[in-house]
Structure 1
């Protein structure tokens, strides 16, 4: 399933299937729930959680807070001063540019 945010501050949440969540330009909250999800920020200071499944999280620009959750996740902060964490599973954390906390 596909879910899209708007230009404001949105909360976008996936479901038990594999989801694609594209957040808007505001300071958004995105969560994948179960399934292997792709969650992509779009420039705000976003809070992104993969939750269960093997997820790919992309923060883009902005100062993002990102957590992979359970599963083998890729957490890519992009530019900005990001806070990145994994959880259970073999996770890859990519800070990129900015002063990041892993």
Structure 2
């Protein structure tokens, strides 16, 4: 009985570590997104001609598409059950284990 408890405790610890790693990855992605896009804004402002408006699509290209990627990353980090359903990962692991046992 004690062996089973340690296995379950280790499994919970591993899951918690994976979640923290996923969250850390998102935060790093978000920070890099902010830093790089601020740098792009500064470069674009310096490259403006006299009386030229900053509000052109070319100045928002990276922000738009990378922002969409960051949004998807955020969904996968904070709402994983929304797309794949609750306990999807556990069901898939069980399915593969049963397949290999047969």
Q: Same fold (TM over 0.5)?
A: no
Q: Taking CA–CA contacts closer than 8 Å with sequence separation of 6 or more, which of the two structures ends up with the larger relative contact order?
A: 2
